[in-house]
Amino acid sequence: MLGRAEDATLKGVDIAARAIQQIDCAKLQQKPELIIRGAPVGAGTALREKLAKDHDGLGVRVKEYSAEAGQIEGDFRSAALSLMPSRREGFGLVALEALSVGTPVLVSENSGFAELLKTLMEPYEWDHYIVETPDDCECAARNWRDRIFNELRDVDASIRRAKKLSDILAEALTWRASCDDLMAKLDSVLPQSPKP
């Protein structure tokens, strides 16, 4: 996970921790570990200790916030999966950042990124990336547990889906398309000049 860990509830840190704690590791090649990048300076140890105490047996590492692109890219490249279990999320650039280096993603249905996927894909396609995330932690954690397990059970397939999604987004999210969309919206709201 990458995000402002001081907003742990909003970002769904509890959901991710509970989901990973509940995964049946016997059916995976290795036990998953939750890595969180984004703790405020000096607060990483306290967050790690709280998560370890609240979620017995959870493997967790907490890293402080960094704006260093190399560190963030390294975090994504070392991850098998990027999680964005936010209870609310404006857009979710983290998903785009992860996909840009080939890391598979799972995102909350409560994000602008999920809304974008729903406009670009059919439900059977976007269902691979979007997870139903109600406010209730236990219910959300079950949904995320099952989806995380499925992604980690077949990492190669997960990577192929990430590549496919990255290609779809690269085609749809161009500067030209963004400018055309902006101009169309401006034309619809600005008064038109009278023609001579």
Only one residue has tokens 């999604």, namely 165
User: What pLDDT does residue 194 have?
Assistant: 65
- pTM, whole model, 2 decimals? 0.88
User: What pLDDT does residue 177 have?
Assistant: 80
Q: Check if the beta carbon of residue 56 is closer than 8 Å to that of residue 172.
A: no
At 44, list the tokens: 């990483």
- Cα 41 from chain centre: 22
User: What pLDDT does residue 173 have?
Assistant: 86
Query: Quick one: residue 25, left, alpha or beta (phi over 0 = left, psi -120 to 50 = alpha)?
Result: alpha
Please give the helix or strand (H or E) that residue 61 lies within, else none.
strand 60-64
Nearest to 6 by CA among 56, 33, 41, 54: 41
| pLDDT < 50 positions in the chain | none
User: What pLDDT does residue 119 have?
Assistant: 94
Domains annotated on the chain, with CATH: 5-189 (3.40.50.2000)
Cα–Cα dist 117/119, whole Å: 5
User: What pLDDT does residue 181 have?
Assistant: 83
Nearest to 3 by CA among 82, 112, 79, 99: 82
